């Protein structure tokens, strides 16, 4: 609520590079401030909006660690 651009983003403004490599080199886009920023944060330090990253998450295929102990080992005794 009440997002405002305080101009802080200008301090972290990323250097102009090709759009193709912007995300690859770690630049993040604040859609609110309309700038590419050089930040480690996930949110804009200026307006607190979530920064846009295009990083293809390596964790996309999350390994679901389902314990196999649920298998019923009970032997059906006749
Ligand atoms: Zn800003
Ligand atoms: Zn911002």
What was the pLDDT predicted at 8?
Answer: 95
Q: What is the mean pLDDT of residues 42-46?
A: 95
List pLDDT tens digits, range 49-73.
999 997 555 555 555 565 655 556 6
Return the H-helix or E-strand segment holding 36.
Answer: strand 35-38
Signed CA dihedral, 32, 37, 39, 45: sign only: negative
What residues does each domain of the chain span? 1-54
Closest CA to 47 of 57, 59, 37: 37
Interval between CA 68 and ligand 1 midpoint (Å): 49
Interval between CA 51 and ligand 1 midpoint (Å): 11
Interval between CA 59 and ligand 1 midpoint (Å): 30
Determine if the pTM surpasses 0.85.
no
- Mean pLDDT score of the chain: 82
Percentage of the chain lying above the pLDDT 70 cut: 68
């Amino acid at each position: 609520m009440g997002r405002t651009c305080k101009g802080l983003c200008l301090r972290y403004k990323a250097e102009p590079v090709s759009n193709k490599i912007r995300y690859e080199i770690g630049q993040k886009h604040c859609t609110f401030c309309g700038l590419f920023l050089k930040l480690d944060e996930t949110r804009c330090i200026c307006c607190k909006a979530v920064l846009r990253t295009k990083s293809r998450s390596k964790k996309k295929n999350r390994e679901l660690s389902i314990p196999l102990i649920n298998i019923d080992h009970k032997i059906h005794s006749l």
